[in-house]
Amino acid sequence: MKISARNTLPGTVRKVEQGAVNAEVTIELAPGLSIVSIITLDAVRSLKLKAGDRAYAVIKASSVMVGTD
């Protein structure tokens, strides 16, 4: 797999919660560290995503916001 995004985080799919149009996919990057993505049901089907699969969270953003209390 070759892509232009530099932030490619490997992990394991822990949960795929399907809704009417989209799905919420939880990828565990490390024990206790997960990232959640909302993708289309068509993408879930195309990628054949299910719990236990190895997958990548790919982050492409032009800006990252940082905040503090």
In a domain, 38, yes or no: yes
Range of the domain at 44: 7-59
Quote the pTM value. Answer: 0.84
- Tell me the two tokens of residue 32: 């206790």
In a domain, 32, yes or no: yes
For residue 1, what pLDDT is reported? Answer: 74
Which residues contact residue 10 at a Cβ distance below 8 angstroms, ignoring those fewer than 6 apart?
29, 54, 55, 56
- pLDDT tens for each residue of the chain, 69 residues long: 788 878 889 999 999 999 999 999 999 999 999 999 999 999 999 999 999 999 999 988 777 777 898
Can you tell me whether residue 44 is helix, strand or coil? helix
In a domain, 21, yes or no: yes
Residue 25 maps to which CATH number? 2.40.50.100
For residue 28, what pLDDT is reported? Answer: 97
